[in-house]
Structure 1
Amino acid sequence: MVNGNLAHQFVVSPESKVTIDEMPVKWCTISLSEMVKRGKRLEASFYDVEAKQAHKIIVEGKYPITMLGGEKGLTTSYTGARFKRIWVEKSEYPIYQPSTIMDIKPTPDGYISAITDTNIDALRVSKGQILMTCSGTIGKVSLVSNTLDGLIFSHDLLRINCKNVNDVGYVYAFLKSKIGNKILLTNSYGAVITHIEPEHLATVPIPNAPDVLKQKIGNLILRSYTLRDESNDLINTAIKMLMDELQLPKIDDMVVNYFKKDASVQTFNVKLSDMEYRLDASYHVPVVDAIIDHLKRHAAEVTIVGDKRISKSVILPGRFKRVYVDERYGRVFFGGKQLLELDPTNTKYLSVSQHDKRMKEELELKENTILITRSGTIGKTAVVPKHWVNWVASEDILRIVPANEDIAGYLYIFLLSEYGAKLIERYAYGSVISHIDDAHIRQIPVPILKNHDIQEKINSLALEANKKRYEAYRLEQKALEVLDKEVIYAK
């Protein structure tokens, strides 16, 4: 029973605050015939609004369209044959996972035996190919330059060859663009594709721009990848200088003091005074002790990351419930999986209104800060380039703020080396998912070189490599901007 007219209680007064949703509703219309063709599916998730708009933009654009693949398309593509891998501890055949194509300096997932029943050389990628992840997280794109040339990748990776070599950079840029990637991941009806096969590229439209525009875009992309190669060369040079100065052998050749050298398993003893309240064997691995002893013999001094001469602070952000929003309302947010990528964007955006204070105090990044993954895969290391400044990284990534620019590059090189990685990994704890924290990072040993000129040179090489990576990012963004303005949205 209702007493009186309560309608007046729901009238919104002029002073009332109106909350605007940061994720506005996206909508589109679907014709009945289109719904029937799509198997009479009524779920909204089956029809991607943005994909339908992207198709329309390309088809109604300034330039005529051609197809990405197919007999008359711009490319041919293939994947490798499936095979059973025979893993070994070490071999001449390091193999890389498809997910690592986005890493600026990828590392192998493991090694396969020469007797693996497949054509191993057919799995190698070659310079000028475009690589694309085609299962799992699909549609990630990379270009084979000097860094990847000749490497062995899993069969489950799409290798794309352009029929005209001058189209390579242009096709890559289109697949990296928001419009191109959106079309790639859906079909003409807007239905999401869950696995990409070579024949799928024959249904992807691409503007057939004039050669002069293709060349303009392509040159920017190729120059971007040249800079990435140059940055990797500088990093490799810096690591070699570090090894030579400290007279470090290959880590497998490090002399380790095992308790019983001819035992079928590694055995060693630990003094009670060296336990440091850690009973897990992984903390006391002899190779770590061997590395530290070697550093003490060949360095002027061995200090720790927490030394004020080395770092201002080590930051472990607190955990929090994340609020993700549309790009317009948030800041670029990425996690440990994207840490080694040049451009870890197009992932997620963290709400500014909900997390602004936390982002400013703990999460946003500063140039030359060293980042280390702290859970899951421990010890992935990167240094913040200029274009990451004020972006936001996950709380699962530890931050080392170097004491100054004169030590930042050197510290990064040491922690990036296989010796630094071993020193990081020793602190891992947890039976299922490994973790480290800021207290562990502060205790990592760091050698100060006897030759200060060499240390300064290593530092400058690392910082120069970081600048090249920023320039590489800037050139790729310029190429995507030209593609948008002069091709996709051209009038």
Structure 2
Amino acid sequence: MEAENFLASGFGTRLSIESKSSGWCRLYEKARTWQPSRLKGIQVSANFGTPFLAATQVFDVRPVPRKWLSLNRTSDYAERFVDQGTILVTCSGSVGRSTLAYSSIGGVLVSHDLLRIAAIDPRWRGWVYAYLRAPSVRGMMMAAQYGHIIKHLEIHHLDALPLIEPSTTNTLDECNKAFKQVIARRNAAQVKMAQAESAFQENFEEATEQYDEASFVRRASDCLFGNRRRFDAWSHNPQKVEIETQLRAGAVVWTSLREANCDVWLPNRFKRVPAEDGVALIDSSQIFEINPDYARRISASGISDKNNGYVKPGWLMMSRSGQVYGLLGSVVIATAQHEGKLVSDDVIRIATNGTIAPGYLYVAMSHPGLGRPRTKSLAYGSSIPHIEVEDLKDFSVPRLAPEVEKRIAVLAEEAFALWSEADEAENLLAEIAEVEIERFLRGKGRTEQ
């Protein structure tokens, strides 16, 4: 009974489709939609539990579990694993956002806050996904949502969604081809990144000493006369010290970003002036997501900074604020998907200027065991930790033989290129579906090809 639903543009689109006597059906006739029951799992340590991902984490380029659940104490746990190729749709909060399951969430428990959809006929799976990605269909889903504070979408809402038939049979084949490309490229990217990290780690021996996370002792002189007089314990933690000892033993040279003449900077803060015909704004969390929704557009006229708030492919971007268990200190390589869009002033830019291959620097900074613990140790602050640009400039990078660095860099950069290509294929699917919807609403019938 919410009035806003009947005033939404998606509601008008739905009425227009349903007014047609033929050429469409209900989604449940072509696809099955289901959802696990509300989760009541028991959280345990990583050594004994099964990794769990919340709804928003599934959209991360590289999902990192933060919780592990006891499988024996998790009801209907088999339904919480997701098969590759399953369509996932957000059903609460920002409803209607769709993505595909691929190897990154294999063997992982996935939140019940994602609806699962699978085409009944495999020939239709590409078209069903393309249709759900179309902006007009996202509008229809948002017009069907309910709730005052947190919006929700139920299974029966999607089952009743009008699904138009593509104008030609070739469209089904084209969509299936792009559907397979999205999954294949993201799977290939995961493999290449794992190979890059393995190639980096094999140059260093395993740590032999155990460190105590509960307590440790450091001399006051270490804080007063080095490390920019950092007195916070996080920057002196034993894990970081042990990792750096391990890296020094295997590195050919040990150099900081400052010594390597890398440009490291943070743009000046700029006003977010809304503008419908403005430039898409990428916030600090979206740079880590698969094909994010760039819903915000702002005016770029008042921004005066190095490169005017934009980034170039090959630059590294780091989230400078957040929580140490979250995205703080995480790094990505800018791709073609980021060009022409404004990137948040809360994202640190790193331009290597050819002194270090971007792919190698990415692996050195983000490796789960040898890189990321070190970047997180740069953070300061209790409520919302931050990373300072000057601290990052002094971040030391272990340099290896040129041929080794090149091999690692190529693998990492190819991985990001594949992720970018997958996004392009996914956007193509949405464009195909949107064109088909417009054609259908104009009264153009189906033709056999």
TM value normalised by structure 2:
0.88
The within-5 A match list for 1:359-370 is: 361-370=307-316
| Residues 48, 225 of structure 1: alpha-carbon distance in 2 compared, 3 angstrom cutoff | farther
| Residues 302, 60 of structure 1: alpha-carbon distance in 2 compared, 3 angstrom cutoff | farther
The within-5 A match list for 1:276-287 is: 276=227, 277-287=229-239
For residue 101 of structure 1, the aligned residue among 58, 63, 69 is 58
Moved more, 358-367 or 440-449: 358-367
Contact 2:33 2:159 survives alignment (8 Å): no
- Matching residue of 2:447: none
SS at match of 2:144: coil
- Matching residue of 1:411: 361
Instruction: Report deviation, 1:66.
Output: 1.1
Per-residue CA distance 1:105-143 (angstroms, 9 max, x = gap): 212122223443423333111122111121122222111
Moved more, 95-104 or 233-242: 95-104
| In structure 2, C-alpha distance between the alignment counterparts of 1:375 and 1:61, rounded to whole Å | 51
Query: What amino acid is aligned across from residue 424 of structure 2 in structure 1?
Result: R
Contact 1:370 1:384 survives alignment (8 Å): yes
TM value normalised by structure 1:
0.81
Query: What amino acid is aligned across from residue 358 of structure 2 in structure 1?
Result: A
Unaligned runs of 5+ in 1: 1-37, 259-264
- Matching residue of 1:474: 424
The within-5 A match list for 1:381-420 is: 381-404=331-354, 407-418=357-368, 419-420=370-371
- Matching residue of 1:348: 296
Instruction: Report deviation, 1:224.
Output: 2.1
| Residues 423, 192 of structure 1: alpha-carbon distance in 2 compared, 3 angstrom cutoff | closer
For residue 246 of structure 1, the aligned residue among 204, 225, 234 is 204
- Matching residue of 2:394: 443
For residue 170 of structure 1, the aligned residue among 108, 117, 127 is 127
Per-residue CA distance 1:374-420 (angstroms, 9 max, x = gap): 11141122111122112111111111111228511100111121221
Instruction: Report deviation, 1:145.
Output: 2.3
Per-residue CA distance 1:195-238 (angstroms, 9 max, x = gap): 11111112211112254322211211221221111112111100
Instruction: Report deviation, 1:366.
Output: 0.6
SS at match of 2:68: strand
Query: What amino acid is aligned across from residue 37 of structure 2 in structure 1?
Result: G
For residue 136 of structure 1, the aligned residue among 93, 106, 114 is 93
Instruction: Report deviation, 1:271.
Output: 1.9
Query: What amino acid is aligned across from residue 202 of structure 2 in structure 1?
Result: D
Q: Flag the structure with larger Rg.
A: 1
Contact 1:185 1:193 survives alignment (8 Å): no
Aligned length: 430
Contact 2:260 2:355 survives alignment (8 Å): no
Moved more, 411-420 or 87-96: 87-96
| Residues 148, 115 of structure 1: alpha-carbon distance in 2 compared, 3 angstrom cutoff | closer
| Residues 222, 396 of structure 1: alpha-carbon distance in 2 compared, 3 angstrom cutoff | same
SS at match of 1:282: helix
- Matching residue of 1:302: 254
| In structure 2, C-alpha distance between the alignment counterparts of 1:271 and 1:361, rounded to whole Å | 43
| In structure 1, C-alpha distance between the alignment counterparts of 2:95 and 2:358, rounded to whole Å | 35
| Residues 123, 422 of structure 1: alpha-carbon distance in 2 compared, 3 angstrom cutoff | same
Instruction: Report deviation, 1:161.
Output: 2.0
Residue 150 (str. 1) matches residue 107 (str. 2): yes
Contact 1:383 1:466 survives alignment (8 Å): yes
| In structure 2, C-alpha distance between the alignment counterparts of 1:476 and 1:241, rounded to whole Å | 30
